Amino acid sequence: MDDSRPREWAREAIQNGKLPTRSPDSIMGGPGCGEACALCGETLRRTEMELEAEFRSDGEAPESHKYHLHPRCFAAWELERTHRNGHFSL
């Protein structure tokens, strides 16, 4: 995979609201869950590592949103997200 592609996908996902611009409330890692990666769309196989970013919302009906990502896709999203928010360190 071309190294620039995940960052391009991350930029697009942030711009179109597919992925959040803020830091996750929690991050967990483990074997793939069989779902599609929130960035590249490829299946997270059980033989692969995945990262799950969870975002909680407050309010009358609190809820959480979880995004399953390959580690490489997560890193690309983090780089683009922090760059966009004016933070250049992880």
Kindly state whether residue 35 falls inside one of the protein's structural domains: yes
Whole-number Å distance between alpha carbons of 23 and 20 = 8
Q: Token match 């997200």: residue?
A: 81
Average the pLDDT over each of 3-7, 18-22, 78-82, 85-89 and give the range with the smallest value: 85-89
Residues 39, 6 contacting (CB under 8 angstroms): yes
Span 65-83, mean pLDDT? 94
Per the structure, the count of domains in the chain is: 1
pLDDT of residue 90: 42
Residue 30 belongs to a domain? yes
pLDDT of residue 83: 83
User: Is 51 within a domain?
Assistant: yes
Containing domain of residue 79, as a range?
Answer: 26-56+64-85
Instruction: Evaluate whether residue 74 is within a structural domain.
Output: yes
